[in-house]
Each structure stands twice: as structure tokens, then as C-alpha cells.
Chains A and B, each alone.
Chain A
Amino acid sequence: MTPPKDFTAAVGSDMRVAPRRVLFVTRRTSPQVKLHDEERVQTFPEVLVRALLAVECLAIALVLMSLFFNAPLEGIANPTNTPNPAKAPWYFLGLQELLHYFPPIVAGVLIPGVLITALLVIPYFDINIEAEGFFLRNRQRRLLVSMGLSAAFAVFLLFFDVYVALPAVAVMAGLMLLAAASSPQSPNRFRRYLALRPVSWWIMTWFLFEMVVLTAVGTFFRGPGWSWVWPWRS
């Protein structure tokens, strides 16, 4: 049994008929309402079978690679015989390349520390929430800032003789100029793409670019005494 109501509900804007307005019905749909739910499939078997197929392809590729290429194995460890150059695994060669230019406290501690911290806090920055093209608003000022930063970074790299990182700076600055000169309605697909890139995209792409360049240089272009060598001349 529901308790007896001590009120009556009525809807109307006429004060004489309905003295109290208890309900507002707006014409618009509220933003939380889902107009349609998108199609879903079951994890079993649809997703699991596809995942297994992908895993199988990777396993076949790795098995083939293991059949045809042997893992390196050199002579037994000898603390009295230092190979020249002594190289870290490939994913640390970017850092080892930095170690060549900067003191260990900077290249070995400060830069990795800052990078890891930056990666950890990425989602807690609201910088990318609106995710709009970086140069679509305040174009003049933002272009000035980004070009100024590029120039300052280039001078910094020149100061420490990090010439290998300069081409990436030039390319990124060029892309930013192109992005600032492009509109999202541009007929060129690439320019349309650039114009819509948010600031986070520019930072991450720049970082990725430099990381790939430094790792490649450390892996392929460094010989005895960390001197520059051409990989095809060895």
C-alpha cells in the first residue's frame, strides 16, 4: 500500500488552474540521453578468435625469424678487455647518444626522469581536452611562440654540438609553418590533417621524431670512441 498523497500534481502555466508548477517539460532532449546504442559483439567467440589469429600470425613471424637469424653471442665476459664501442641494447642507444653530448647527470638522470614523469602526467593535463587544431585559434601568437621555441631549441642543440637532432627540428618547424598556413577546409588532405592537429600531437610527434633519430644514430652511425661512421663503409 502506498501512503495517501497529500498533494495533487498538475501541469499548466495558468496560475488560477495550477497554482504550483511541479514539472517542467522541455522540448529538447537532454544531452545525457543516448539516441542510439552502437552495435556490440560478444567477446567469445568473436573477439577471442580474432585475437588468437593475430597472436598466431605474430608467433609464426617470430618462429620464422628464429629459424633464420641467430641471436648474437660473443666471447665470454672479460672485464679487462673493453670492446670499442661498448653499446647498450638498442632501446637505450638514444640515451647513450645523449650521454655523448651531455654530462651523465643530465643525459642519464635528468632527461629520463623528466621523460618518465611527463609520460605519467599526460592524462592529468587538460591541455588536449578540447583537441582542436593548435593553429586554429590565436594563430599569430601561437606561430610566434612555436617558432621562437624551435629557434631556441636549435641554438641550444648547436651549443652542445648535437647536430644530429637539428634536421628533426627543421622538419617540425616546417610542418608547423605549413599547418599554420593551412585550413581544415584545405583541398589537400595532408594540409587538412596538419591543420587539425592539437598541441599535444605536436609535442609528442616532435619527441618521437627526436627519439627515433637519436636511437638510429646510436645504433647505426657510431663506431670506435663513439665517432661517426657510415654503416655501409664498415
Chain B
Amino acid sequence: MPSPIATALDRLERTRVWRSIFRSGKGRSTLHNALVIQQSVFLHLFSVKVRKRMLSLGATWYLGTLTLATFLLLVVTGVLLMLYYHPSVPQAYTDVKDLQFVVSSGLFLRNLHRWSAHAMVFLAFAHMFRVFYRGAYRPPREFNWVVGVVLLLITLLLSYTGYLLPWDQLAYWAITVGTNISSAVPLVGDKIRFLLLGGHFVNANALLRFYVLHCVILPLSAVLFLAVHFWRIRKDGGLYVRESEPGAAEAAQTSTTEEREKP
């Protein structure tokens, strides 16, 4: 006899409302499983089927998946942090202090956001080097590699703009050091710095600009490029497999010639 939960779920999945939302229908057939992916606006970016050997941990170390996970975690914790934060001087700092000492779980929320941010930068780099050493950037995946480099830069900028927001000494001087470098760009260096900071020094204007970049412009561009990045995996023939790697290529060649030699 099925459990009450299973019965309730079964009944729910038969309702008209449920069927109007999830069109894959009831059942666990190959077709139904394929429809789960194909009929979902988010999941349809991915292919319906994946090569079995790509499931093993060693194939990818799930680095791309984990980078995406940190991004989602950062969006959730970031939105919650936004509820307690004003991008103004000196309130920004007192808000962060309140998060540390007054807001329930505020300290945990900020910690999680901070450590996830470091994790995302690290994982994005790890993902890039992994893809490189696998040779997965080679044609036809060259454009997806470029999209990936753009995403790495967006990740770095996201982390960097977020660094200023607590408005403490660490934040202030890290941004001062960083933006001073942009003055070294020939001809337009000071103009770039002025554009970034909204002034000649790191001040309230800079905080507001970094806040808008951090909470609106950069996350939106990240989502846009992420969509292209995932969609291109499917369009470029799924996750890369070893075929064209040094040892594998030679091994495959010798085996096919052997097969050909057979009468």
C-alpha cells in the first residue's frame, strides 16, 4: 500500500492546475523525463540526454555546477542583506554593524555572503583551468570559452564592487588601491577613475555607484551571459569528452586503423 504522502502527491499531480503548470505529465518513462527538461523554460537550456561518463566526478569535478551554486547562494543572501543596508555614508557602516550585532542571524547571513563570494571567485578560476587542461575550449566550443572569460571578469568585478559596501577601513583602502591603478591607463585613466567613483576620491558617490553596479548591473549581465553559457553547452554538442586529448586521440586512431585492416 502506498504511503499517504505518495497518495497525496499522486492526487496533486492529477489536478488540473498542476497539469497546466507542468506539462511533462505523469509517469517516469523516457519521454516524460525528456519533457521535464524540454518543457521547462530554465531547464531547456540543457540537453535532454548526457553522455554517461560525464556523470563521474573525475570528468568535471562539478566545478561549473558549483560555481553556479555559489552564484545562486549569493543572490539569495545578497537580496536578504539588501533589506538591511543603506548605500550611504556613514549609515552603510552602521548597518553592517547592526547586521553583526542586532539583526537575527545577520552575522551568519553576512558570513555566508562573504565566504560564498570568495568561493565563487576560486571556483570560477578552478573551472577555467580545468576546462583548459581538459582541452574543452577547442572548436566548436571556442565561443563558449570567450563567454566564460567574460563571466570570470564579471565575477571578479562583482566581488570587487561588493568589497567596498561595508565601508570599513579594509573596504575603503582596497578600493582606493584598486582604482588608483585605473589612473595609469594612458590618456583616459583619470576619466575612467572619475566614472567609476563619481568623483576624485572614494566617497559617498563611489559607494552608491559600486552599490548599483554590485546589486543591479553586474548580476543582470552575469545572468545574461550565464544563459548563453549554458545554452551553448548544448549547442556545441554537450559536455566535452576526451576524444581529442593527446593519449586518447592516438589510441582511437590506432584502434580504428586496426579495425579497418580487418578483412
Judged by a CB distance under 8 angstroms, whether A149 is at the interface is no
- Which residue of the partner chain, among A29, A58, A76, contacts B169 with CB atoms under 8 Å? A76
Nearest neighbor of B70 in chain A, beta-carbon distance = A58
The interface residues of chain A lying within 8 Å CB-to-CB of B52 are: 38-41
Judged by a CB distance under 8 angstroms, whether B112 is at the interface is yes
- Chain A, residues 72-111, CB within 8 Å of chain B (1/0): the string is 1111111101110011111110011001000111011100
Q: Are A96 and B119 in contact (CB under 8 A)?
A: no
A43-B49, A44-B43, A77-B169 as given contacts; A71 in contact with B201, CB under 8 Å:
no
Q: Are A72 and B51 in contact (CB under 8 A)?
A: no
Judged by a CB distance under 8 angstroms, whether B33 is at the interface is yes
* A132-B141 Cα distance, complex, nearest whole Å: 20
Interface residues of B in 31-55 (CB under 8 A from A): 33-34, 36-37, 43, 46-53, 55
A44-B33, A122-B132, A133-B246 as given contacts; A86 in contact with B110, CB under 8 Å:
no
Interface residues of B in 248-263 (CB under 8 A from A): 249, 256, 259-260
Interface residues of A in 14-70 (CB under 8 A from B): 28-29, 35, 38-48, 50-51, 54-55, 58-59, 62-63, 65-67, 69-70
A40-B51, A77-B167 as given contacts; A123 in contact with B46, CB under 8 Å:
no
- Which residue of the partner chain, among A66, A74, A201, contacts B115 with CB atoms under 8 Å? A66
Judged by a CB distance under 8 angstroms, whether B231 is at the interface is no
Output the least CB separation between A129 and chain B (Å): 7
Judged by a CB distance under 8 angstroms, whether B177 is at the interface is yes
A74-B168, A75-B168 as given contacts; A89 in contact with B160, CB under 8 Å:
yes
Judged by a CB distance under 8 angstroms, whether A160 is at the interface is no
Q: Are B168 and A38 in contact (CB under 8 A)?
A: no
* A58-B114 Cα distance, complex, nearest whole Å: 15
Judged by a CB distance under 8 angstroms, whether B69 is at the interface is yes
Judged by a CB distance under 8 angstroms, whether B121 is at the interface is yes
Q: Are B65 and A55 in contact (CB under 8 A)?
A: yes
- Which residue of the partner chain, among A45, A66, A95, A116, contacts B112 with CB atoms under 8 Å? A66
> How many A residues, CB 8 Å from partner?
73
A69-B115, A79-B201 as given contacts; A109 in contact with B181, CB under 8 Å:
yes
Q: Are B108 and A66 in contact (CB under 8 A)?
A: yes
Q: Are A92 and B160 in contact (CB under 8 A)?
A: yes
Nearest neighbor of B35 in chain A, beta-carbon distance = A44
Output the least CB separation between A168 and chain B (Å): 16
- Which residue of the partner chain, among B50, B62, B69, B138, contacts A40 with CB atoms under 8 Å? B50
* A83-B175 Cα distance, complex, nearest whole Å: 13
Residues of chain A whose beta carbon lies under 8 Å from any beta carbon of chain B: 28-29, 35, 38-48, 50-51, 54-55, 58-59, 62-63, 65-67, 69-79, 81-83, 86-92, 95-96, 99, 103-105, 107-109, 116, 119-120, 122-124, 128-129, 131-133, 196-198, 200-201, 204, 208
Q: A42-B34, A59-B73 are in contact. List 10 more A-B contacts (CB 8 A).
A: A41-B55, A47-B50, A50-B55, A50-B62, A54-B66, A55-B65, A76-B169, A77-B202, A87-B173, A91-B156
Closest 10 CB pairs of A and B: A123-B142, A104-B184, A77-B172, A108-B181, A66-B111, A71-B114, A86-B173, A55-B69, A40-B49, A44-B36
Residues of chain B whose beta carbon lies under 8 Å from any beta carbon of chain A: 30, 33-34, 36-37, 43, 46-53, 55, 62, 65-66, 69-70, 73, 89-90, 93, 96-97, 100, 107-108, 110-116, 118-119, 121, 125, 128-129, 132-133, 135, 137-139, 141-143, 145-146, 149, 152-153, 156, 159-160, 163, 166-174, 176-178, 180-186, 189, 201-202, 241, 244-247, 249, 256, 259-260
